Structures are given as structure tokens and as C-alpha cells.
A and B are shown apart, each in its own frame.
Chain A
Amino acid sequence: MRFRKRRGNRALKSKDAVSCIPGELNLACLSEGQEAVIASVPDMPLFPPLGLRPGKKVKVCAKGCFGGPIIAEVDRRNIALGRCLAREVRLHGSGHLVSEGDLVRPSLKMQAKYPNLK
């Protein structure tokens, strides 16, 4: 499958591979366009009001270069999170993560044609 191959390559190259133990998914593990549901967040007063609360669907919109922040999308809002904080945002799910974003991303045209594609 196209999707799986790409993710495999990436995981080998990326530094985050170290922090992504199967079964213990965190926000820094996702690649651009993938989404998952938050399981737990670090206890910081800023997190809940930014929408980072357990049970919320979160999507990685962008990953900063030079070890920069993860840009997450929750409730249509974008939040920049330093990498080490992103690692503390645990997600539900494990191993191979199949997400809407990743399947659709290869072709925006397809997405436009079939808005319900999941």
C-alpha cells in the first residue's frame, strides 16, 4: 500500500522515531496531515483553553524545521507546540495509524471530487 510504505520510510529517517514506541502514540509521532484522538495532556494551564483536552480530535498541520514546533489543529484552531511538549500529548491508537488526512493527501483533486472520502 502506498500509504504504509511512505510512513515506513519516514519513520526510519525521522528523529522522532525514537520517541514513537508502538502502542504509545504521541503528537510528535504523527506526520503532516495525520490525525488522532487525544488521550492525555500534560498539566499546563494553557492547554485546556487551547482545545488540547482528552477526547479531542487533533491533526498535525505542519512540523517545524530545525526541531521546531508541531503545529496542531484542534477545533479548526492552529496551535504551535514545542516538540518536547508535543511528545507529552498522548494519543489513542497505536502502531499503524490510518487517518483520513493521509489517505486523502496524495491528491487534492480527489478530495475535491469526493468530499466524503474517508
Chain B
Amino acid sequence: MKETPEHTVLLMGPPNVGKSVLFNRLTGLNVSCANYAGTTVEFTAGKTKLGKTEVSLVDVPGTYTLEATNEAEMVAVDMLSGKSMLSKSGSHCSGSSCQLAEIASSGPSAVLCVLDAGNLESSLYLLFQVLEYNLPVVAALNRLDLADEKGDIIDTSFLSRELGLPVVPTVAVEGKGFEELKSALRSVLEKGKSPSPVLRIKKQKGFLWPLAEELAQKALRRNFGDGGQVWQPGRRQKWGVLLLRTWPGLPLAFVILLLTFGMVVGLGMSLRQYILLPVFRGVIIPGIMEGVQGVVAPGFVQNMLIGEYGFLVKGLEWPFALVMPYVLSFYFALALLEDSGYLPRLGGLLDGLLNRIGLRGSGIIPLLLGYGCGIPAILATRALDSRKERLIITTMICLAVPCISQSGALIALLSERSVGLVLVIFIFSFLVMAAAGLLLDRLLKGARPPMVMEIPELLLPRVDVLGKKVLMRLKLFVMDGALPMVGAVALAALLFESGIMAYLGVVLRPLVSGWLGLPQEAAVPLVLGIMRREMAVLPLLEMDLTLLQLFVGAVVGLFYVPCIAIAATLAREFNLSIAAGMLLLTSSLAFLVGGIFFRVGSFFL
């Protein structure tokens, strides 16, 4: 193991100022950034070089104030007081960074507090609260480009003098001001804390807001160009508001969602149909077949490799030619929605409707993330301030929100007959979500607090950021998605070739054939589906199914248990009994609905 740096620097600040962008640029890591409050919900540590010394930098969830109102903010406050890493070590950090953060359990050595040039007052208030912890602090005044555009000029040297700490102007997305920031950090780490002149005078709590207002007012000069007295909102600001109004916002929301769905399905399908499938079926797989046949004699081993579930055939084709195109198209569309700042607007528009099924507008973000992968989606519910709502959304995600791998499998399965079936399945899943929400809202205890949500400025997504995001998702998919999928196919091959599958088929026949009306082999996806969500659907592709069987299979696959990784996440975020309950709920509902569909369907068809 490499030597760990002696200093730990926390990146703190209000939500959505650009802490994670700054963190990524400074450490070379790739944590997710998006244009809404509450993107980061756990801490991540990384290393950065300040001249010769290396420090570990920790990206922390954004906080409006240090009176935490949700679990994400609590992580931040715990980090600042050096508690989190001692008490709940590992439970709030992501992946490999746990190690780093745990070593830093003595507490942070300094804080890099990021201020929002567009909201100087509240940023300063938070800074005052941070200063009370008596740590060395450097402030970065970020988003200066946006303030500039509105004609705001902020006197950073005045702020720096008054606050008694370095205030460095930055534009995180362009990497501006980073060298100054680093050298300021270095000198602060060497020198230690210097007392803050303003705070010394008025330390009482009630004075912090007036003090922040006064400082902000003195530091800020507004210049509205050509002598105007009133700030004229630009085109982005005007659209930002129009998208929130019932007219034209609501019809536009419908159009935007439909376009997004169309883009994900259309782009994914054409990538698969016209590029990946021809390459795989025409070049790669025949090549592998030939190679294996030349080396391995026919029999068990050859069948494992290139037989019906041969993992060199299906194990490559499924993840790379079937699921990957949708990973690309989905995350591209999601990045557009995330970075533009449209998601919170959608939340604001739909809040009234969502209220009826026990949710608030802010819940739309984790739900949409769930169409990518359930794990980050469930983590994202930390940014909500009600446990009841967290549970409702989590249940919806486990039950009826297919992850992108499963969606890819469903699209491939159903679109061979008709694309309309895909739409039917998705609409049906919305209905089930609504029903689940209605029911849980009544059943679970606790009130739903009213919504308070900041709507970020509408921004034009940057091409380089979009590209980087999609690339990162692709990398993540290959490591965390495709490789396990190859493993699952290998397991399928083993089960199939060893005859265990046939045995399972017989055992499960009453359920699979008797109750659901599916062929006996459909026991396979039910077994594998516990491991990975898409495996509950993919094997059905290889069976000649009737229209009704297709539909029943798809419905069962959709509602069937979420993958094992989600079960682990549930146990970690909530507790074991909720994880177990969710598994029970989803599997029993899947069989119930599937069976009913089969009976009703065979009555009509």
C-alpha cells in the first residue's frame, strides 16, 4: 500500500456549487456531478498534489447550513466534526476510498469551503458556521462566470481581508483559479489557522445572518450594463421559469419525456441493430466458434464455451451487443437532463400529481436514476428528508423500475413482435408504481413534509462534460455490469450442461408451467434473476414463446426480485428485515400478477 498523506482536506459548501467538479479536477477521480442540489450523498476521498506534498481531499455532500436536515447533510456534518469515520466507518463512503478516509479518522486538518458567487449571503453564512470549528479554512469563490454574465462583480480581496482567510476566485468547469487555490491551501496547511477579524467582533448566533448580508453587500457591485437600473433576465433565465409554469411547461414536459424515451430506445436499438449485432454475429462470434472448435474437442467443455448458453457466445453478445447500446443511449439522455437542470423543474411541475401517490417532486430524481441502476438511485434518496418517502421510492425502484440492463433485455425481447408492447409494459409499470405509492402512503406511518427545493439555474450542458460522463458510465458498466453478466452466463452454462437445469425445471414446473404458463426452461431465468436483474429476462430470448408467454415472462421479469447487489444496498441503507421484506414482496407480486395475466390472457386469446 502506498503511503497515505498526513493531511485531510474537506471540500464543503452549499449544494450544487461545483464541489464535485472541483474535486474531480483536483484528484483526477470521477465522482458524479449534476446540476441539482443533492448529487453527492456520501463522501469520497482522493489524493491531490499541492506542490511537493500530497494531501487527501474529501468530497462531501453539500449542506445549506450545518443544521442537517437530511441524511446526506448529516454525513457532511459528521465529517466536519471528525465523527463519521470513527463511529460508522465505511458506511457512508464509496468503494476504495473507505481505506483512505478511515486512516484520516483523527478529523480533518483543513476545510476548502466553496462559495457560490451567485448566492454570496448564504455561502458566507455557511462559511461562518464552518469557521466555528476552528480549523484552517480556504474559500473558493466558484461559479464566477455565471455571476459575471449577470453583471455581478465581487471583490474577493475585500472578502479575504474581512474574513482573514484566502478567498480564491474559481470557475470549476474551466479549471480557472486552481493554481492559486492549491498554493493557498498549501500555505494554510503550513501556517495553520489565523483568527477571523469579522467573527471575533460579533460571535453571537443571531448576528450571523446580518453579518453575512452586510459582508455580501459590501463585496458585491452590480453592473447592469448600459446604465439600466433593473436586472434583465437573460434567455436562459426566462426559459428556466417558462419550463416551470403549467403553460407551456407541462405540455413541454410531456414532449421532453417522450423524446427522451424515444431517444433512449431509438438510439439504443439502432446502435444494436446496425452496428453491434452485425459485428458480433458476423465477425466476432464466428471467429470464436472456429477458434474454440479447433482447440477444444466436442463435449462438456466445448458446450460450456460455445453451446446454447456458451459463455463465449451469449456471455459476450448479451452484455456487449444487447445491453451496452442502451447503457450508452440512456446515460447520454440522462446526462442531458441532469446537466441542464431540467430534473428539478420536472419535479416542481409534477409535484402536485406526485403528492397523490405519496411522493414529492424531489422524488422524481432518484426514480429516474433508477432506470439506470437501482443502487445509486437508492443512495440518492438520502437527499430526501423523510424516511417514509425514502421507503416508498425504494419500493417503487425495487418493484417496477427496470434498470437499464433489464430494460435492454425487455426491449430486445418484446420489440421482435412489436415496439408497442414495450410501451405497454412501461405504462403498466407506471400504474403499478402509482398503486404501490398509494398503498404505502396509507400504510406507512409518518407525515410527508412539504417540499422545499431549490431550482437550479438552467445551464447549457457542456459537450466535454457529457462525453466524460457517458465514458465513465461505460467504464463502470464494463467493470460492474458486463463482467458479472459474463459470470452469470457462465453459471447458466454450467447449470445447463450439468443437467441441474433440467432438474430445476422439473421441480419448479408447477409454478413455471402450471401457474405462469411458461415453458419448463423458464425456471432458468427465475433462478438466475436473483443474481442479476436482466438475467430474469435474457434467457427467454432463446425460447420460442407465444405472444402471451412473452408478455407474462416480461411482466414476471420486471416485478421479480431486484438483483443481489440491491438487496445488499437495502440491508446497508435500511436494515435486513426491509431487504428480506422487499425480496418477498417483489417475488410474490411477480408471480401473482404473472399468473393472473396468464389466466386472463388465455381467456381472451
Q: Which of B67, B351, B454 contacts A50 (CB 8 A)?
A: B454
Asked if B450 and A67 sit within 8 Å, CB to CB, the answer is no
Question: Which of A32, A44, A61 has the largest count of B CB atoms less than 10 A from its CB?
Answer: A61
Instruction: Report chain B residues within 8 Å CB of A63.
Output: 246
Q: Which residue of B lies closest to A86 (CB)?
A: B450
Asked if residues B229 and A50 are in contact (CB atoms below 8 Å), the reply is no
- Asked if B334 lies at the interface with its beta carbon under 8 angstroms from chain A, I say no
How many Cβ-Cβ contacts under 8 Å join chain A to chain B?
121
Please state if B348 and A71 are interface contacts (CB–CB under 8 Å): yes
Q: How far is B356's CA from A115's CA once the two chains are assembled, in angstroms?
A: 42
Q: Is A11 an interface residue (CB 8 A)?
A: no
Answer yes or no: A103 CB below 8 A from chain B CBs. Answer: no
| Measured CA separation A1–B496 after assembly (Å) | 82
Are A47 and B452 closer than 8 Å at their CB atoms? yes
Residues 227 to 246 of chain B near chain A (Cβ within 8 Å): 228-232, 237, 240-241, 244-246
User: What B residues does A78 contact at CB under 8 A?
Assistant: 240-241, 244, 454-455
Q: Which residues of B contact A53 (CB under 8 A)?
A: 209
Q: Are A80 and B240 in contact (CB under 8 A)?
A: no
Q: Is the CB of A65 within 8 A of B244?
A: no
Instruction: Evaluate whether A71 and B118 lie within 8 angstroms (CB atoms) in the complex, with A48-B125, A49-B125, A64-B348 already known.
Output: no
Known: A51-B121, A85-B450. A64 touches B349 (CB 8 A): yes
A76 at the interface (CB under 8 A from B): yes
- Among residues of A, the one whose C-beta sits closest to the C-beta of B247 is A65
Q: Please, how many residues of chain A have a CB less than 8 angstroms from a CB on the other chain? A: 34
A49 & B241 in contact (Cβ 8 Å cutoff): no
A81→B349 contact, CB < 8 A:
no
A75 located at the interface, meaning its Cβ lies under 8 Å from any Cβ of chain B in the complex? yes
CB of B65 within 8 A of CB of A77, answer no
**Once the chains are docked, how many angstroms separate the CA of A27 from the CA of B360?**
20
A97 within 8 A of B: no
Also in contact, A68 and B351, with CB within 8 A (given A53-B209, A78-B241): yes
Q: Of residues 34 to 57 in A, which have CB atoms within 8 Å of B's CB atoms?
A: 44-51, 53
Say whether A82 faces chain B, with CB atoms less than 8 Å apart.
Answer: yes
Given contacts A62-B246, A69-B351, contact A50 B122 (CB under 8 A): yes
Q: Which of B67, B122, B209, B361 contacts A68 (CB 8 A)?
A: B361
Interchain CA distance A68-B348 in the complex, whole Å: 7
Task: Specify the chain A residue showing the minimal Cβ separation from B65.
Answer: A49
Docked-complex contact A79 and B454, CB < 8 angstroms: yes
Distance in angstroms from A80 CB to nearest chain B CB is: 4
Q: Which residues of A contact B241 (CB under 8 A)?
A: 61-62, 71, 73, 78
- A contacts, CB < 8 Å to B: 32, 44-51, 53, 61-69, 71, 73, 75-85, 115-116
